[in-house]
Structure 1
Amino acid sequence: MRRRTVLRRLGAGAGIGLTAGRAGAHPTPTDGGTAAPGPASMPTGDDPLGVLAMDAVYEVVTSPDGHTAYVATGDGVAFVDLVTPTNPRLIGLERDLLADSADGPIQRVQDLAVSGTRLLVAGPAHPADGARGLIVFDVADRRDPERIAGVELDTRIHNCDFDGRYAYLTANSRDGNPLSIVDTETGREVGTWSLLDADDAWDDVPSGLWPLHDVWVQDGRAYLAYWDGGTWILDVSDPAAPSVVSKVRGRSPAELAAIDDPGVERSEPPGNDHFVTVDDDASLLGVGGESWEIDDDGTGGPSGIELYDITDPTAPEPVATLDPPATSDPSPGGILTTAHNFELTAGRCYSAWYNGGVRVHDVRDPAAPDLVFEWRDSEAASFWTARRADGCFVAACTDANGGTEVQPGVYAFPDPRIRTPTPTGAASPSGAEAKGTALGVGGPGFGIGTALAAVALAAWRARR
Structure 2
Amino acid sequence: MHRRSLLKAGVAGASSFAFTGNSAAHEGHGGGEAAEDGGFEPLDSLSLPGAKELVVDDGVAYVATTDGFATVDVSDPTDLTVLAERDGLLADHPDGPLEGIYDGKVGGEYYAIGGPPNGRSDVPYAAVVFDVSDPAAPEHVLTYETDFYHHNLATNGETLYLCGNDGEGNPLVCVDIESGEEVGRWSILDADDRWDDVYWKMYELHDVWVEGGVAYLSYWDAGTWLVDVSDPSDPTPIVDLRGQDPAERARLSDSEALERRLYLPGNDHFAMPQRGVDSDLVALNQEAWGEEGDAPTSDLGGVELWNAADEERLARIEAPETSDARFRGGVWTTSHNFAFVGDRLYTSWYRGGLKVHDVSDPTDPEELAHWRDADSTSFWTAQQAGDAVIGCSWQDHTLDSPAEGAGLYALPDPGGPLDSSGTAGETDGVGAGLGAATGLFGLGVAGLYRWLRD
When normalised by structure 2's length, the TM-score is 0.82
| Deviation at residue 366 of structure 1 after TM alignment | 0.9
| Deviation at residue 401 of structure 1 after TM alignment | 9.7
| Deviation at residue 295 of structure 1 after TM alignment | 5.0
| Deviation at residue 243 of structure 1 after TM alignment | 1.4
- Is the Cα–Cα contact under 8 Å of residues 161 and 216 in structure 1 kept in the other structure? yes
Alpha carbons of structure 1 residues 267 and 393: separation in structure 2 relative to 1, 3 Å = same
- 1:411-434 CA-to-partner distances (Å, cap 9, x unmatched) read 0010112799xxxxxxxxxxxxxx
- Residue 110 (structure 2) pairs with residue 125 (structure 1): no
CA distance in 1 between partners of 2:319 and 2:406 (Å): 22
- Is the Cα–Cα contact under 8 Å of residues 346 and 354 in structure 2 kept in the other structure? yes
Aligned match for 2:66, one of 53, 67, 74: 74
- Residue 134 (structure 2) pairs with residue 147 (structure 1): no
Give the superposed CA RMSD: 2.8
Q: Which amino acid aligns with 1:391?
A: D
Report SS of the residue matched to 1:344. Answer: strand
CA distance in 2 between partners of 1:193 and 1:24 (Å): 53
| Deviation at residue 390 of structure 1 after TM alignment | 2.1
**Residues 13-412 of structure 1 aligned to structure 2 (within 5 Å):** 16-20=1-5, 22-23=7-8, 26-27=11-12, 29=14, 39-42=26-29, 45-63=39-57, 65=58, 67-128=59-120, 129-259=122-252, 261-280=256-275, 281=278, 283-294=280-291, 298=295, 301-310=299-308, 312=309, 315-332=310-327, 333-399=329-395, 405=402, 407-412=405-410
- Is the Cα–Cα contact under 8 Å of residues 19 and 25 in structure 1 kept in the other structure? no
Q: Which amino acid aligns with 2:55?
A: V
- Is the Cα–Cα contact under 8 Å of residues 382 and 404 in structure 1 kept in the other structure? no
| Deviation at residue 326 of structure 1 after TM alignment | 1.1
Alpha carbons of structure 1 residues 97 and 25: separation in structure 2 relative to 1, 3 Å = farther
| Deviation at residue 363 of structure 1 after TM alignment | 1.0
Alpha carbons of structure 1 residues 182 and 25: separation in structure 2 relative to 1, 3 Å = farther
| Deviation at residue 259 of structure 1 after TM alignment | 4.1
| Deviation at residue 343 of structure 1 after TM alignment | 0.5
Report SS of the residue matched to 1:208. Answer: helix
Report SS of the residue matched to 1:39. Answer: coil
| Deviation at residue 441 of structure 1 after TM alignment | 7.5
- 1:152-173 CA-to-partner distances (Å, cap 9, x unmatched) read 2221111011111111111113
- Is the Cα–Cα contact under 8 Å of residues 287 and 334 in structure 2 kept in the other structure? yes
- Is the Cα–Cα contact under 8 Å of residues 71 and 82 in structure 2 kept in the other structure? yes
Q: Which moved more, 1:96-105 or 1:217-226?
A: 96-105
Q: Which amino acid aligns with 1:143?
A: A
- 1:223-245 CA-to-partner distances (Å, cap 9, x unmatched) read 11111111111111211111111
Q: Which amino acid aligns with 1:18?
A: R
| Deviation at residue 94 of structure 1 after TM alignment | 1.2
Alpha carbons of structure 1 residues 250 and 127: separation in structure 2 relative to 1, 3 Å = same
CA distance in 2 between partners of 1:359 and 1:223 (Å): 23
Report SS of the residue matched to 1:399. Answer: coil
Q: Which moved more, 1:122-131 or 1:245-254?
A: 122-131
Report SS of the residue matched to 1:303. Answer: coil
Structure 1 segments unaligned to the other structure (5+ residues) = 1-15, 31-37, 421-438, 445-464
Alpha carbons of structure 1 residues 48 and 84: separation in structure 2 relative to 1, 3 Å = same
Q: Which moved more, 1:292-301 or 1:100-109?
A: 292-301
- Is the Cα–Cα contact under 8 Å of residues 304 and 317 in structure 2 kept in the other structure? yes
Alpha carbons of structure 1 residues 96 and 170: separation in structure 2 relative to 1, 3 Å = same
| Deviation at residue 17 of structure 1 after TM alignment | 4.0
Work out the percentage of aligned pairs sharing the same amino acid. Answer: 38
Report SS of the residue matched to 1:228. Answer: coil
- Is the Cα–Cα contact under 8 Å of residues 346 and 357 in structure 2 kept in the other structure? yes
- 1:197-255 CA-to-partner distances (Å, cap 9, x unmatched) read 11221111111211110111111111111111111111112111111111111112112
Instruction: Provide the aligned length of Structure 1 versus Structure 2.
Output: 400
Q: Which amino acid aligns with 2:195?
A: W
CA distance in 2 between partners of 1:328 and 1:355 (Å): 11
CA distance in 1 between partners of 2:427 and 2:234 (Å): 40
- Is the Cα–Cα contact under 8 Å of residues 302 and 334 in structure 2 kept in the other structure? yes
Q: Specify the structure having the higher radius of gyration (Cα).
A: 1
Q: Which moved more, 1:135-144 or 1:47-56?
A: 135-144
CA distance in 2 between partners of 1:179 and 1:28 (Å): 45
| Deviation at residue 183 of structure 1 after TM alignment | 1.0
Report SS of the residue matched to 1:142. Answer: coil
Q: Which amino acid aligns with 1:368?
A: D
- Is the Cα–Cα contact under 8 Å of residues 342 and 387 in structure 1 kept in the other structure? yes
- Is the Cα–Cα contact under 8 Å of residues 415 and 441 in structure 1 kept in the other structure? no
CA distance in 2 between partners of 1:317 and 1:348 (Å): 20
Report SS of the residue matched to 1:46. Answer: coil
